[in-house]
Structure 1
Amino acid sequence: MSRKFIATIVAAAITVTGISAVPARADEDVIKFILGAAAIYALTQAIEDRNEPRVSTTSPYRPRTVEPRPLPRRARRLAPIPARCLKHHETQNGMVRMIGKRCVNRHYHQAHRLPETCRVSRHTYNGVRHGYKPRCLRRNGFEVARH
């Protein structure tokens, strides 16, 4: 049930019990009745005003929109890194995956945007290899093509 309806029923019940409890005297009782009814009306209006959402009269209510956060500047609208640049190298500690630096410089026209923090050098059985960590590049918004 709505609060407005309940408040009206309570106000009517209090008014009726006040009238029927004491026989009516003309002057004092009418004034008391009117003041009591006004007080009850004021209370019900205060309850209704408290429960209704506040709306500005000058402009209609518009919910706030949430804008998605943009991608980092270096990762916006970049082509994927060619899959042929993803290399596997044998080291003393096992196989290492890296994206070859020379291949990226030759075949990826946005190689200058790759983050320096992802650069690595590994000692392999064929010498030192320079490149980038694939997982680090993915975390920074770059992707490697799948074919």
Structure 2
Amino acid sequence: MKFYVGSDHAGFAVKALVCNYLSSKGHEVIDLGPDSADRVDYPDYAKKVADAVVGNEGSFGILICGTGIGMSIAANKVDGIRAAHCNDYYTAQMARAHNNANILCFGERVSGPGVIESMLDAFINTEFEGGRHENRVEKIMSLEERQNA
């Protein structure tokens, strides 16, 4: 799998853990920044990752800020993105299984390394179930179409 990873200053310290963990599992990882813990604006990195995911079919994104909330809000403004703010294995699993999420968002200040690794595992190893969930995801995506009309 191909992953685009981004953070802000509040998620910078754990970004390396995420990149290393995904790489150790054999995934292609592209770090879209930032390159230091200097203060930055999370919407800029949410857009970078979201645009990369939309532009590379079948790829996924990981976004990290202090809580994960800001990143998920910003990323979801990009057409084609279903960014899920997750806190544990189960929410990451359901984000993929039921919502076909293509970006996982979480917070460095609220998630420890073990929880982060378990969320990554859930996100990586869970396939979208389709079925009854397909119609719901289509309805979510149609909200973009109405917005752009």
TM-score, scaled relative to structure 1? 0.21
Larger RCO, structure (CA 8 Å, separation 6 or more) = 2
